[in-house]
Amino acid sequence: MTATQGTQGDRWFLDRLWFWLPVLPLVALDLASKELVFGFLDATYPGKPYAQHEIFGGWVRFSLTQWWNTGTIWGLGQGFNLPLIVLRIGAVAALVYFALRCRPSQRLTLLVLGAILAGALGNLYDNLTQGRLAVYPVPGGEVGGVRDFLYFCFGGGPSPWCFPAFNVADSCISVGAITLALLILRAKPETGGNAAS
């Protein structure tokens, strides 16, 4: 590799530093929170898979739960782990490609793409490991489901409306995707369709 090639590679990384900045902290937060919550539930409710531990109740109820999601967002497509692994790997490649297409000045766009990448990596890690590492059998067999643990229910009485359990990675993807859509919508015509920072 020549000095010029090395400099160009460094510039690509440094110019898009806002893309890489959120990735490691958010992946670490996602994986650490999953380990902590699932470990806590295993210790508190030994031998009880899919346990729930209520944090607060009332009209809005929040619980920590233990759920392996073998589908995609909101629990759709259960049991499609292998296709989802392929899709998530493709998403990772696409996010890096889109980051390459961004201008260095598009810091907010790069930051949002980095957050989405972190979410994809966190859930992909679970897909590749939880079939073998989960304490309890994972629905779907050898390939593991994504560990979800944040569980909100709304409304009183015996039949509240409950939002599907989710995790930090899901939050990164959802918030990032909404923010990215807003950035694209507000982009000026002269940007040629690229989201503005």
Active site residues: 148, 170
DSSP assignments along the chain, one per residue: --HHHHHHHHHHHHHTHHHHTTHHHHHHHHHHHHHHHHHHHHHHSTT-TT-EEEEE-SSEEEEEEEEEE-SSGGG-STT-HHHHHHHHHHHHHHHHHHHHHS-TT-HHHHHHHHHHHHHHHHHHHHHHHHHHH-SSPPTTSSSPPEEEEEEEEESSSSS-EEEEEE-HHHHHHHHHHHHHHHHHHH--GGGTTPPP-
Report the greatest alpha carbon distance in the chain.
69
Q: How many angstroms separate the CA atoms of 95 and 188, rounded?
A: 22
